Structure 1
Amino acid sequence: MRYLDPKADLTFKKVFGEHPDLVISLLNALLPFEKPEEEIAEIEYLTPELMPETPLKKNSIVDVRCKDKMGRQFLVEMQMLWSPAFMQRVLFNASKAYVRQLGGRESKYELLQPVYSLNLVNDIFLPDVPEAYHDYKIVQVEHTDKVIEGLRFIFVELPKFKPQDFKGKKMAVLWLRYLTEIDEHTRQAPKELLENPEICKAVTQIEESAFSDAQLWWYDDFWDAVRVENTLISDALREGMEQGIQQGIQQGIQQGIQQGMQQGMQKGIEQGLQEGRQEGLEKGIQQGIRQGNIQNARGMKSEGIPAEIIAKITGLTRDEVEKL
């Protein structure tokens, strides 16, 4: 048996955008519902296209958008590559879905229902945080138990997923294993996944034989686009790093020269003043300046600056610089 990767645009929308029972199972498994009565029992699919307020703004399209009988809305996104703009788009989409609930002048704010945004990210965007699951909500800074209800954002970094981090959440583990363990190289789906009816159905939906030749072409085209985007991001990061290194080296040299000159001048003046007390103020200052030039020359020489340039800057001869 050959399978397609469930994270691809074609397969993800087929599994979760065409089968209400599967998206309900996914949402109940990964959303932070604290009570059984909060879980979703039935959903209605909504158009994934969030229309703009004005014709000057572009539409925004999510992978799956639905609501339950209570009117709560759920936005589900599968993101292959991370960018800071994605989080802003998630905030925009959820806010727009929340505001759109007020249809006319008679609408009342107290009728607004929560919007949950579930975002599955096949990339790492918080490298300094070990957890894969991130729950965002609007809280008071001083007292985080004080919450403004309405918007809830869940992000899951799929590359960080470890089953042991989801103890007691069997369905969450099964769904995340489904998304991370099955791809084009899979010939036999894991037994634990096939033993669960919902996951087994989702596995069946991504069998290669279930797709037409045209769909398989779109599938390959999707991965080509992902690879191109990944290359562009990698090239941009590498170019940025190279520029940063060059700027760092230049700044380091400049700072080293300035620091060396300041230290050398200070040391030279101090030494000159000390000698001036013995041999005369004028002679001491001159000697101090010369010592400062010598210290400066040593500092510049240690930075690899050519001797002829050091000589021009400090007034020392080239022989004197080379003997330092």
Structure 2
Amino acid sequence: MDLYNDDERFIPLVSDYGFKATFGNEADTRFLRKALQAFINSPVAIEEITFIQNEIKGVTRDSRSGIYDLFCRDEQGTQFIVEMQLGKYPEFIQRMKFYSFYRLNTLIKRGDYEFDDLPKIYCIGVLAATIFPHIADYHNVAVLKNQHNELIDEQMTFITVELDKFKKGLSDITSNLDKLLYTMKTIHEVSEPTQFPPFWNEEWLRVAIQELDKRALTPEQRLSYEMTISANALAVKNEQKKIQEAEARIKTETVKNALQMGLTVEQSSLLANVSVEFVHRVQQTLLSN
């Protein structure tokens, strides 16, 4: 998916800008409140949301990794951590646990290490790729249970959504969660409102889609959008450079080891999958040392 394609009218909801403009819209939380209710599968509407500043110190963020995207609480004090992950990240659940346990520890310390009346914490991970290939469901809710599947505790709940597994067509869309995931996967493929499915006229989705319409961006929003594109392009370029440098180091070490073991230049070239000229350069380095 090209997250920033100028030919598309609507910005992908799963892009950095799209996520912040919809889920992170502090001025209008109608979409966020309904989306959170759908994620946690609750029949009770969320009436109010308060955004909370990130409290994890010493953690930096690069492109699509590092720090959670959204942290907020509702009028009941329930805590929500929401993270969007586009790339493959098999250890993503470990990151979710880190965020949740950090928040739990913070709440306990603020209560002078008391464990009563702790609010519920929902850690919600939305992933573009699949991280649980052995599980068929695209929406998973995990709490603490015993070996008989009996509930032990649900003060902390981990929710994962794997968008790659969501295959429902329009005729199969029934729940608000289905409507949300369908929107996240397809909004950037639509060019005109005449192509909208009927449920995109529901207020909570309509306000989010309006934030993703490039034609409706204010000059300030357009600048923010362009800066996000630039930042992401730079992050991708830096990441590719790191990968290339790492690959070069591995190949260099492979050639060094091969030459030191007595392999010929041609054999070393085949082993490391590099050119003969590359082997000669490594060989010169060894001789000069």
1:104 Cα deviation (Å)? 3.9
CA offset digits 1:268-288 (Å, max 9, x no partner): xxxxxxxxxxxxxxxxxxxxx
1:105 Cα deviation (Å)? 5.8
When the two structures are superposed, what TM-score results if normalisation uses the length of structure 2?
0.68
1:186 to 180, 185, 190: 190
More RCO (CA 8 Å, sep 6+): 2
CA separation of 1:211 and 1:81: change in aligned 2, threshold 3 A: farther
When the two structures are superposed, what TM-score results if normalisation uses the length of structure 1?
0.61
Q: Does 1:171 align with 2:176?
A: yes
1:103 Cα deviation (Å)? 4.4
Secondary structure of the corresponding residue to residue 200 of structure 1: helix
For 1:29, the equivalent position in structure 2 comes to 38
1:71 Cα deviation (Å)? 1.3
Tell which structure's C-alpha radius of gyration is larger. Answer: 1
Structure 2 Cα separation of the partners of residues 12 and 94 of structure 1: 21
For 1:143, the equivalent position in structure 2 comes to 148
For 1:75, the equivalent position in structure 2 comes to 81
For 2:207, the equivalent position in structure 1 comes to 201
1:137 Cα deviation (Å)? 1.5
1:80 Cα deviation (Å)? 0.5
For 1:61, the equivalent position in structure 2 comes to 67
In structure 1, the gaps of 5 or more residues are 239-324
Kept after mapping to 2: 8 A contact 1:98/1:150:
no
Structure 1 Cα separation of the partners of residues 107 and 51 of structure 2: 15
> CA RMSD, aligned part only?
3.2
Secondary structure of the corresponding residue to residue 101 of structure 1: helix
Please tell me the residue identity of whatever aligns with 2:156.
L
CA offset digits 1:53-104 (Å, max 9, x no partner): xxxx436632111111221100111111121343221111111112211344
Secondary structure of the corresponding residue to residue 205 of structure 2: helix
Structure 2 Cα separation of the partners of residues 165 and 177 of structure 1: 8
Structure 1 Cα separation of the partners of residues 90 and 237 of structure 2: 18
Q: Does 1:8 align with 2:9?
A: no
CA offset digits 1:6-46 (Å, max 9, x no partner): 1111121111111322111001112133xx34x42222111
Q: Does 1:108 align with 2:114?
A: yes
Kept after mapping to 2: 8 A contact 1:75/1:117:
yes
1:191 Cα deviation (Å)? 2.9
Please tell me the residue identity of whatever aligns with 1:27.
L
Instruction: Report the more deviating stretch, 82-91 or 22-31.
Output: 82-91
**Percent of pairs with identical residues:** 19
Kept after mapping to 1: 8 A contact 2:173/2:179:
no
Please tell me the residue identity of whatever aligns with 2:176.
M
CA separation of 1:177 and 1:222: change in aligned 2, threshold 3 A: farther
CA separation of 1:226 and 1:42: change in aligned 2, threshold 3 A: same
Q: How many residue pairs end up in the alignment?
A: 228
